[in-house]
Structure 1
């Protein structure tokens, strides 16, 4: 669960897990999933498929309450071994009666989970949350899934996962696509092809996104000066950091910290 305001836009990112979102508060959230833009309002539920690039932005100054459930890929594979062969299609309230009934049941499950998380924890809380997760997953598979036509042409998961580990561990260094490909014993062409297929962006852009996300955290949670943040997050210079940050957020990191720190 998290509250969000106009300063807390979520940059494009992806993960192997699936993400289930539920807008609890009475406002509107702009959400982009695999290059398609959706406008969610109170009560809307949506799901982001594994490896889909997604981002969100609150267009008003009002606070937002969103419940976000990320279901681990390993858990999914164990619970439903054919998980890679399906994909989900849920972006707000459905139209058919059958799906609407299932949708209302899912909303009830999510509200129960919110109550469990907000209430007093006891030894059975984790068990209750796990039970609700299984109920949600069963309903989603039964009512909001279809065959994944890309199943036979999937990316090299092992290569992508190893690349992600190296990026997350070494983004603060002079890491780039060329030396990353060398570390992975593959060509830059292959690495870019795999990343474009997996996350719809080249490796160099993804590295920059990770650096910007970490720089944003440091701007908000530390008093380090801009030069030091640029170094800590792997940018070649302060000028490069400022240019990329302004392109991302529309304002300089100096202004961003002044407004939101």
Structure 2
């Protein structure tokens, strides 16, 4: 099967999509390595979708938005934290918020680039699990994920139609499609991670205990909670908990705890009035060296470098 018909555009659409619905025109930004970028969202919407046909490359940069890249014509090169991905037409690629990445076009073509703020979704039931699965780059292609590809790309193309459409409820409808995309991918990952293992359902006693643990971690990630204690909270053995946690969250318990701490540290570091040592303590670390090591491992640069990059851009 050739999936090209799922994302093909008419000549009329190609012309219409070159103009933003709010008539926004991007301003030139100074080029610098590792630049912090403030997304040009539509006012009060927390999102922006580009139909991009430019042959320019985008140097290493980062922002707080989830970025989705969907090539339409020609291949597209994306590098995230030093790992290179060659995207083909129709590929659906998600870049996590806060990750250093760069985009380049090896040959002339066209693609959609979608930026979206995930924070409004964070209070949705079950989104903690989804956000964990999205903490690493995600490539959904016809070859790699045939079970969900058609649904994912169809939902995304519906987002495109809504973005350039005339519905008064366009923003709500786009958010609904994105939640459906996230849910589809989460279900796929959970089912595929351990197909022969009985997984706790959302309405089961075990599933509810697991969800309560995630809520507890969101509020208490600074505490020194061990794997044994976490398993006891759910009421299962450490071995079973380890398997369930990794299959549901896409990472180990320790990795998830580190992810929560570093995500919190990012927000604190944007405040110039808080020292790196204080951020370290506030995020649950006893050692600055351990904090620096984990921060660099996840983000690709030190806490001090992160702060300088952010503050330098805010002064522009």
Place the TM-score, normalised by the shorter chain, in its bin: 0.5 to 0.7
Q: Secondary structure at the match of 1:59?
A: strand
Q: What residue in structure 2 maps to residue 234 of structure 1?
A: 284
Distance 2:232 2:152 in 1: 47
1:214 matched to 2:257? The reply is no
Which of these residues, 255, 259, 265, is aligned with residue 205 of structure 1?
A: 255
Structure 1 residues 128, 172: closer, same or farther in 2, change over 3 A?
A: closer
Deviations 1:164-194 (A, max 9, x none): 1111110122333233333334443332222
**How far is the alpha carbon of 1:241 from its aligned partner?**
0.8
Distance 2:216 2:290 in 1: 22
Q: What residue in structure 2 maps to residue 40 of structure 1?
A: 87
The answer to which structure has the higher helix fraction is: 1
Root mean square deviation, CA, Å: 5.2
1:58 matched to 2:101? The reply is yes
Which of these residues, 156, 177, 188, is aligned with residue 133 of structure 1?
A: 177
More off after superposition, 213-222 vs 166-175: 213-222
Distance 1:218 1:43 in 2: 38
Structure 1 residues 178, 101: closer, same or farther in 2, change over 3 A?
A: closer
Distance 2:158 2:245 in 1: 35
Structure 1 residues 179, 217: closer, same or farther in 2, change over 3 A?
A: same
Listed as ranges, the gaps of 5+ residues in structure 1 are 11-18, 76-89
TM-score, structure 1 as length reference: 0.57
Which of these residues, 154, 158, 176, is aligned with residue 109 of structure 1?
A: 158
Distance 1:100 1:7 in 2: 28
Distance 1:220 1:184 in 2: 35
**How far is the alpha carbon of 1:41 from its aligned partner?**
6.3
Superposed counterparts of 1:45-194, under 5 Å: 45=92, 58-60=101-103, 65-67=113-115, 91-92=140-141, 106=155, 108-115=157-164, 122=168, 124-125=169-170, 129=174, 133=177, 150=194, 153-156=197-200, 157-194=207-244
Alignment check: 8 A CA contact 1:174 1:236 kept: no
Distance 2:231 2:221 in 1: 14
Alignment check: 8 A CA contact 2:99 2:299 kept: no
Listed as ranges, the gaps of 5+ residues in structure 2 are 1-46, 50-57, 106-111, 128-138, 201-206, 312-316
TM-score, structure 2 as length reference: 0.49
Count residues in correspondence. Answer: 216
Deviations 1:170-228 (A, max 9, x none): 01223332333333344433322222332343212211111111112221345311111
Deviations 1:72-123 (A, max 9, x none): 7889xxxxxxxxxxxxxx82467xxxx999888655422123336xx8x94x
Distance 1:212 1:259 in 2: 17
Alignment check: 8 A CA contact 1:160 1:194 kept: no
Alignment check: 8 A CA contact 2:162 2:170 kept: no
Q: Secondary structure at the match of 1:251?
A: coil
1:6 matched to 2:96? The reply is no
Alignment check: 8 A CA contact 1:191 1:203 kept: no
